[in-house]
Structure 1
């Protein structure tokens, strides 16, 4: 992949909801976290092809709140490029832990995170049933619990 440009969204810039909605179900859900995040875009020279929202949970932990790649660029290593950038940003900010949460039905996402060095650390029971006004389905199953994965950057 050449000509990819990775940039942090400047304050006051329009939030790229069209990209964020690829990884989250509603604008309302995105608005619960996006204003406390640093948002990064990956551009191919013609269009934004990916987004990542990072939230500092503490002085040592950075959480990936949203990460999404447009469909035409999936399965080409873009997600792994973003993972590398997230790890770099975490280390630049003296963070030793990078965390992410995903649906218990997101088998492909869980495999992706594990492939990128994350391990399962916990479960937020009933996260999707308690925080969304309607049932959400993925892979033919209703999303219920959030699986928390983390990557120890101090190793």
Structure 2
């Protein structure tokens, strides 16, 4: 991670909605989890380039609620750096499972998570229909279901 620094955001710091909104559709959706999550920022010399929100689900499970990279840094391995950091944080805190959810229309995201060691483990039917007031489209398709992927951590 040469030229990059990674830090946990202080509780009293301003929430970087501009970054979080790259991966979530509304501020209201973000507000449903952000106050129960640990928020991490990845910075280069001059700016915040990525964000990751991690939320404790149980004593054994940690969930990635949001992971986003600014446009100019995409396809440069930054997402994988964040995934490795999430795994490291989970292991350090003795979690056994790391989970993430994404839209069934998020083909690129699903491939990304699978490439980083996650496997599909479930589907939350009609998640995006029931949790967002307006239809959301991705890849020309309406987002309906959330695909849940898990990564089992080893010691």
**How far off is 1:32 after superposition?**
0.2
Q: Which runs of 4+ in 1 moved over 3 A?
A: none
The CA deviation at 1:85 is 0.2
Separation in 1 of the partners of 2:14 and 2:42? Answer: 15
CA-based RMSD: 0.8
Q: Which runs of 5 or more residues in structure 2 are unaligned?
A: none
> 1:110: Cα distance to partner?
0.1
Equivalent residues in 2 for 1:1-155, closer than 5 Å: 2-154=2-154
Count of matched residue positions in the alignment of Structure 1 and Structure 2: 155
- The superposition leaves residues 64-119 of structure 1 with CA deviations (integer Å, 9 ceiling, x where unpaired) of 00000000000000000000000000001100100000000000000000000000
CA–CA distance in structure 2, aligned partners of residues 37 and 84 of structure 1 = 18
Provide the TM-score with structure 1 as the length reference.
0.99
SS at match of 1:49: strand
> How far apart are the structure 2 equivalents of 1:43 and 1:84?
16
Q: Aligned equivalents of 2:58 and 2:89: distance in 1?
A: 14
Secondary structure at 2:50 match in 1: strand
**TM-score, length-scaled by structure 2:** 0.99
